[in-house]
Structure 1
Amino acid sequence: MLRKHLDYYLRYLNHDIPAGVVVFLVALPLCLGIAVASGAPPFSGVIAGVVGGLVVSVVSGSQLSVSGPAAGLTVIIANSVEKLGLDGMLLAVAVSGLIQIAMGFLRAGVIGAYFPSAVIKGMLAAIGLILIMKQLPHAVGYDADADSDLSFLEDDSHTTFSFLWSSLDSISPGATVVSIVSVAILLFWDTEKVKNSRILSLIPGALVAVIFGIVFNQIAQTIAPFFAIAPQHLVTLPAISGPLQFLGEIHIPSLGALTDPHVYITAGTLALIGSLETLLSLEAVDKLDPLKRTAPTNLELKAQGVGNFISGLIGGLPITAVIVRSSANINAGAHTKVACIVHGWLLLLSVMFLSSLLNTIPLACLAAVLLLTGYKLAKPKLVMEQYEKGFNQFAPFAVTVAAILMTDLLKGMAIGMAVGLFFVLRTNYHSAFSLTRDGKNYLLRLQKDVSFLNKAPLRGMLLDIEEDSFLVIDGTRAAFIDQDIMETLEDFIKAASDNNIRVELKNMKGMAAPANNALAPA
């Protein structure tokens, strides 16, 4: 059996190794950028990427999914770093891993199906908007607000919008040029011309943007100091030159914060949101898989849990399956999880031996990558698609976006879920049954599940049935009929003879035949 699996993975090495290189080139700037956006050390982002590649991919049952730090969790991480400190945040990540492992054993892989898609899309759109607003200061070379929370309303009544306006006084010309050109490169790399090019399509646009930023700053320092980017606006990784120094830089958090209840609140939030993002990404990857393989969701939760537990204990950010890196993996021709493992090894080796080179990357390059990431999460096309689906879909979406922006991610999701649940109940309230009339003949058809919530409108419909008429009550399409509904119908049947209303029951299990006529239940 072992030899069979080994042969399977060796068979596709010519596809998986090049794909792993491509994913590494996509993942490196994202790992650094997401760490910066989260107010955490850039080293934490790389650690999470390494764990995602070397641990999660091995345990996971998915062949093509790539895990690492995700933009969708930046809001939670930034808030937890501010409230709990770095050690508290890392402990919350480790505890969230234990929660995810338990979720996997409890077979909670189906939870993604219980969250309305409109609410999830609203969450992602809100995160996209927050990413854009919070990365604009980095894009212009003003990053003094990097440690603030990621909400639009600051604690000192100082809005992000007014902060952005005041940051115009501190623009760095070099950072601004780098961010503008980097965005242009990323937009160009997303065109059909590049995608159809056999050579250019193999080179990630984020890598080109990063190389441009490094080269521009090196040239500016020599011939145009006015455009040189200050050291505080560059990536800051520990100076590492080998495995021993790498191990020395690993940050093992103090356990003192375990007495803080906010650690467990943050851990639960990370576990829930991270699991949702993972399950949604996994579903998308399964659809993109050329071989149409289906990954086991419960095993994926266990894999993510193991990864987050290890990542938190050695100083890394939380991990989820990420659709951006996973789709890049598939587009690069990956066939097995070897590609993800290769990307993990390349991340590890780069931070071990190339940290001095990585420290020349301008933060403006990473800001450009995240600005485009934020735009893709909150693009106007998404808003229009939700609007065209009708008010029942648009309202939960819009409320979720507004609630997250005005409060925080957890409260915003709770408000969005409440609104989504309201519209589900409202739809069920109106579609649980229908009454059709043809002269003196009526057909009351029960649909799907009919609960006590439908008792009041049912009574109203029954009151509309005229005297001297004939009513058929059809329960063929009803999967469940609440006892309150049964009693309401039985009460109506008992009183129907007073108005000379004959009643026939069709597929109404558990109800006795009407006594006022000879018709029996069908």
Structure 2
Amino acid sequence: MFKTIKSDLPASIVVFFVALPLCLGIALASGAPLFSGVIAGIVGGIVVGAISGSKIGVSGPAAGLAAIVLTAIGALGGYENFLVAVVLGGIIQILFGVLKAGVIGYYFPSSVIKGMLTGIGIIIILKQIPHFFGYDAEPEGADSFIEASGENTFSAILSITDNITMGSMVIGFIGLAILILWDRVLSKKGKIFQLIQGPLVAVVMGIIFFTLTQGNETFAIQASHLVSVPIPESFDSFLGQFTFPNFSAITNYEVWVTAFTIALVASLETLLCVEATDKLDPDKNVTPTNRELLAQGTGNILSGLIGGLPITQVIVRSSANIQSGGKSKMSTIIHGLFLLLSVILIPTLLNKIPLSVLAAILLVVGYKLAKPSLFKQMFALGWKQFVPFIVTVLGIVFTDLLTGISLGLAVGVFVILIKSYQNSHFLHIEDKSNGIHKIKMTLAEEVTFFNKGAILKELDSLPQDTHLELDVRKTRYLDNDIVEILEDFAFKAKERNINIKLISERGIVENPQSFIKFFKLRPKAA
């Protein structure tokens, strides 16, 4: 793992700066203690990162679970009771891994996964625009269209003009300029610019700007527009930030319902993120999904035991890791160590980082996920790829992550049904002589009940006095529904003077008496 430390160390710094405000923001959006988000980030980085088989995936608290957490804390009667559900959820995830449930992630079409990445990229951009201009009404990490304040994503953006913080906006633009300059120009000029990442320089400039402008009426940045890490007064007060589960609530039925909900949603988000990060990975590593569920379950057990939020693998941090050149799991582990050390050693310094600078970093991450060229590429692949892609994108932007993915998947399945309907058979009209139509119908390799409508339509449209050749030599699976359709058609064919020649691997049969008996006796393919 240490062979790639030159790439992993700079990447871990970028991931750290992306993760810190998200950990705090998601905790705030979840109605949980701020430190609980940091705990989840630390455990997700160090523990899950060490156990996981993913080289570039980063785990931590997920915005997609914020609404579930917020509701559950109130319903279960307190955060300590909720932590019991987190621990139980982790145990259930381990059970999922043992039962090999990781295969579920492979059943999502590529177009939906690409739509998920693009939709998340657009959401990142839209959600960070207010923070970039110093309007911090919503916490970092919110990703649903309707926000906690009652505003929606676009109304929050329109509210910027009345809530611009001049200092935040100025350092936001300075930070964005540094990031673009570093990415487009300086990173190609020398190794020093690859070792020292642009986001680190932007953050340092943000701290310097905050320090120099204190007391200035125009450019001073208030505490509400800065990172807000809890500052312990002593080692005892640091330990006091940890919360422990109230296991007496384990007999509560609602705790178990919440645990299963957390396990199911966290596992699904993780598996989708694994699929997405593997597609983004330039080295094309393949993550073992069952091992990932075991790692996530272990992380959630530990996080719940010490007061942390539920953990999933998350695409924002994972994509930041990939974009920054992370090569192995060391970048994930080191980012977790940075989170731990920073909240212990330098919380005061962290609280001088303007949120607008971190918003600039996330804007770049979002743009790289949702490049305009990707829309052009997906459109060029045809409507069967583009429609599920764009539905997923719009669903994520206007609802939330899981709803958007569900809509994209539903459309993807509908497209499959349409193509299955169309591709069940090949119909070839050979000639028409002496008033007799000669038609050859070749059935596909697999013909299921999805194809009933298409085949029934073709058979019913055959004119009288037709000679039909039905070729099933390539067919390896023929649903009983289709056999019954052929059986009924053979009965009606006599009335319409339609002769049937059945061609199979067993030979040729003229006007078979019973299709059901024929296919029942037909030897099964190996």
Query: 1:360 aligned to 345, 352, 358, which one?
Result: 352
Distance 1:37 1:177, change over 3 A: same
Counterparts of residues 423-438 of structure 1 (less than 5 Å) = 423-438=415-430
- Are residues 1:274 and 2:267 paired? no
In structure 2, the residue matched to 1:140 is: 133
- How much has 1:454 moved relative to structure 2? 1.6
How far did residue 178 of structure 1 move? 1.4
Which residue matches 1:5?
A: none
The structure 2 residue matched to 1:51, chosen from 40, 43, 63, is 43
Paired amino acid for 2:448: S
What residue number does 1:197 align with? 190
**1:376 alignment partner in structure 2:** 368
- Give the alignment partner of residue 228 of structure 1, picking from 220, 230, 252: 220
- Distance 1:212-1:236 versus aligned 2 partners, 3 A rule: same
In structure 2, distance between residues paired with 1:96 and 1:369: 33
Residues 417-440 of structure 1: per-residue CA shift (max 9 Å, x gap): 222221111111111212111114
Instruction: Give aligned pairs, total.
Output: 496
Residue from 72, 78, 98 that aligns with 1:105:
98
Aligned to 2:434: none
Percent identity between matched residues is 37
Contact 1:109 1:279 in 2 (8 A): no
Aligned residue for 2:484?
487
The CA deviation string for residues 347-393 of structure 1, in whole angstroms up to 9 with x for no partner, is 32232212222121111112222222333333333333333322233
Q: Write out per-residue CA displacement over residues 465-492 of structure 1, whole angstroms, 9 at most, x where no aligned residue.
A: 3445443323344342110101212333
C-alpha distance after superposition, 1:145-193 (max 9, x if no partner): 3399644345887444333333422211110011112222222233265
Please tell me the residue identity of whatever aligns with 2:267.
Answer: A
Q: Spell out the pairing of 1:32-47 with structure 2 (5 A cutoff).
A: 32-38=20-26, 40=28, 43-47=35-39
Counterpart in 2 of 1:69?
60
Give the match's secondary structure for 2:15. Answer: helix
1:324: how far off?
2.3
Q: Is the 8 Å Cα contact of residues 121 and 367 (structure 2) preserved in structure 1?
A: yes
In structure 1, give the amino acid aligned to 2:503: L
Map of 1:401 onto structure 2: 393
After superposition, give the CA deviation of every residue in 1:305-363 in whole Å (9 maximum; x if it has no partner).
Answer: 2123322443245231653255257x35x5x6455444433432232212222121111
Contact 1:103 1:109 in 2 (8 A): yes
The whole-number CA distance in structure 2 between the counterparts of 1:315 and 1:232 is: 24
Query: Contact 2:424/2:454 (CA < 8 Å) preserved in 1?
Result: no
Instruction: Provide the C-alpha distance between the structure 1 equivalents of 2:85 and 2:320, rounded to a whole number of angstroms.
Output: 25
Does the 8 Å contact 1:99/1:271 carry over to 2?
A: no
Written as runs of structure 1 = structure 2, the 5 A alignment for 1:163-312 is: 163-191=156-184, 193-195=186-188, 197-221=190-214, 224-240=216-232, 246-252=238-244, 259=254, 261=257, 264-282=260-278, 284-285=280-281, 288=283, 294-312=286-304
> Is the contact made by 1:81 and 1:89 (CA closer than 8 Å) also made in structure 2?
no
Give a deviation string over 1:19-51, Cα, whole Å, max 9, x none.
442232112111113224435366444433322
Describe the shift of the 1:24–1:338 C-alpha distance in structure 2 as closer, same or farther (beyond 3 A): closer
Distance change >3 Å, CA 446–CA 416, structure 1 → 2: same
2:466 is the alignment partner of 1:478: no
Match of 2:322 in 1: 327
Distance in 1, Cα, partners of 2:296 & 2:231 = 29
In structure 1, distance between residues paired with 2:239 and 2:162: 41
Please list every run of 5 or more consecutive structure 1 residues that lacks an aligned counterpart in the other structure.
1-8
- The SS at the match of 1:395 is helix
Could you say what secondary structure the match of 1:403 adopts? helix
Q: Assess if the C-alpha contact under 8 Å between 1:109 and 1:297 holds in 2.
A: yes
Q: Distance in 2 between matches of 1:126 and 1:462?
A: 44
Give the deviation of 1:80 after TM superposition: 3.7
Residues 138 and 321 of structure 1, relative CA distance in 2, 3 Å threshold: closer
SS of the equivalent of 1:144 reads coil
Equivalent in the alignment of 1:420: 412
Distance in 2 separating the partners of 1:464 and 1:90:
64
Note the C-alpha offset of 1:130.
3.0
Distance 1:401 1:508 in 2: 50
Within-5 A mapping of 1:508-519:
514-515=511-512
Query: What RMSD, in angstroms, separates the aligned Cα atoms of the two structures?
Result: 3.6
Aligned residue runs from structure 1 range 448-467, under 5 A: 448-467=445-464
> What residue identity is the alignment partner of 1:235?
V
TM-score by length of 2: 0.82
> Normalization by structure 1: what TM-score?
0.82
Letter in 1 for 2:96: M
| Preserved CA contact (<8 Å) 1:97 1:271 | no
1:28 aligns with 2:16: yes
Take 1:152 and 1:321, find their aligned partners in 2: how far apart are those partners?
A: 19
Match of 2:440 in 1: 443
